[in-house]
Structure 1
Amino acid sequence: MKKAAWILPITCFILLIFVIIIGILFTPYNPYEVNASEKLQPPNSLHWFGTDHLGRDILTRLVIGAPYTLLFPAIVLILSAILGTFFGLISSLWGRKIDTIMTAIMDSFSSIPNLLFVVAITGILGPGLVNTLVAVLISWWVQYARIVRNVSVVIRNQPFILAAQLSGTFGIKLIYRHLLPNTLPLIRELFFLDMGTIILMISSLSFLGLGAQPPLPEWGGMILDGKSYFQIAPWITLIPASCITIFVMLFYFIGKGLKVSD
């Protein structure tokens, strides 16, 4: 029963990714081509999810935009987790002075809410998907560093760690053999839970005009495209919003399922 908690959502996720890949490879439409004669078409046999205000096929833009909404945030979150894990382990193991410095840095970053921090950095760097992703990376590694540091401090005082140190295991070898394996399950759970938050954050920034810029088919930007036409063509907004909701929920259930199964 515990395994089933994460098997079902991850199976659904894999199937959706497979559908997206098939769509990217075989879509008959250009996601950037303007076709005024086809604008604001409701879902039909030619355009399964309808068209937007410029006559672009929404399904095509969804599948082409999936990497901007799902893959790139995942890469940034992986880098954040690696960076945070590294500094968290260093902070917990390399003496009080290093720990004090790292804790002060983490406290400084944590004193500002993540969304506000990302908006501020994006405002400095300028709008754009790349700048938004850089802002997320700068702000998000601290969460992993703090959690890994706190968990490692607890693990470091366990009898098996003391036994390993008595047998001559120190430094990098101690991290690789004992500390890292015991923190990885928590990092894995946090990653999937954070993915939903990151997707919502980046999509929200695109909706506000700070993230991906037109004509890039990022899903938050697609919602912005349909805002002015919601009364006459609600599918332009509702379909990408539904896709974001589905993936955020899947990542949440995967993370919770992994937590239950551990």
Structure 2
Amino acid sequence: MEFKGKLTYILSAAGILVVIGLVVVFASFSIMGPKDLGVTYSYEDYQNSLEKTGIQIEFEGMTGEELEEYKKNAEKKSFHDYEFEFSDYQQKQFVLTNSEATALLNEIAPGFWWFDDIQVKVNPDGSMEGSSKADIKRLENDLYTDIADDVPVPLPDNLNIYSKGNIKITNNQLTGDPESLYLGPVPLPEKYMEEDSVQTMEEYIPRIYQVVPGLEITSLDANEKGEFVFDGVVPQKVTVTKKE
């Protein structure tokens, strides 16, 4: 099966599942939150994650407490309306707890991020779980304009997603052995999670972290303590300004 055909196969399956369950599970897509993995975080967890990664953010001249206060009521923004300057790249090795990783993903760029109410978790067996509400419309516009038309049926603008499996990144390449994937409350059947389909996902999902130019993920994995372990090159300074 050609690569584009495999992608259409996966997206078609996802779209059909959504349409079948749309009436019954409408609240799950639009009102109810994503699956609760039992991971919570505090402001301290977020500060710990910034200290470990070394990342400093300046958004339209705001930093620190001023920026945190602004974020509380910040509206969603188009990725294409702003200039992003990444600088001071450094080799970093760090370990994040489930709470720290969840805090970082939720708080580092909420106005631009394509996912809300994120929870990530490393299980005792080394498998990882992820839960979030995905902004499908913004993902299509920002990252996947070239394949958005391959979905044969319309998807909701927002969709709760849950996944579990063994996932790691080596030299910027994602590899995974998914155990389950849910779109809302509807599981993606196993026949759509076989090798060809997984390879297609591995090709397209990295676009989410490749938006940071020069980011080098030598390895991202889990340790025996149930923590996320990172080794790679990370920009220490991020400056965001609105395009004129």
TM range (shorter): under 0.3
> Whose helix proportion is higher, 1 or 2?
1
> Whose strand proportion is higher, 1 or 2?
2
Higher relative contact order (CA 8 A, sep 6+): 2
TM-score using structure 1 length: 0.25
TM-score using structure 2 length: 0.26
Compare CA radii of gyration and give the structure with the larger one: 1
